Amino acid sequence: MKVYTLRPDVSLTQVYVYRDPIDFRKGHRGLSAIVEQELGHSPFSDLLYVFGNRDRSKIKCLFWEDNGFVLYYKALSEDKFHWPQSHDELLILSGEQLNWLLDGYDISLMKPHRKLLYESVC
């Protein structure tokens, strides 16, 4: 099993997935404003919030850690994230399900993205 660094903890019990696409120029201030103003939650709680861009090729995760915000960002090279379907504004996942989503799984089908191996960035 591959060990990942800087990943959201799989033991998290509540991860909130914001359904609407966001402007990915937003940093921790803009995302915490969405959490507070649109969702009515405190961005300073121990909860993790997940946001996606319009074409679902990027994910940002936001959470408060003791004395500052942590922003996790992942951008896919070719594929798209399989965004969970829901009619609610906010969807709740576990930490394990979030990591499956980050791994490229369609969590409703448990089917992963193909693994990409590159030789160079240019």
Task: Give the chain's mean pLDDT.
Answer: 86
In order of 49, 81, 119, 121, the CA distances from 52 in angstroms are 10, 9, 28, 24
Q: How far apart are CA 13 and CA 5, in angstroms?
A: 20
Q: Which two tokens stand for residue 98?
A: 């979030």
Query: Among 60, 54, 66, 69, which residue's Cα sits nearest to residue 17?
Result: 60
pTM: 0.81
pLDDT tens digits, 48-84: 999 999 999 999 999 999 999 999 999 988 888 888 7
Helix (H) or strand (E) holding 91: strand 90-93
pLDDT score recorded for residue 90: 81
Residue range 13-36: mean pLDDT, rounded = 94
Query: Can you give the residue ranges of every domain in the chain?
Result: 15-102
Q: Is 22 helix (H, G, I), strand (E, B) or coil?
A: coil
CA atoms within 13 A on the CB side of 87: 0
The pairing of strands 68-75 and 90-93 is unpaired
Query: Among 62, 57, 87, which residue's Cα sits nearest to residue 72?
Result: 62
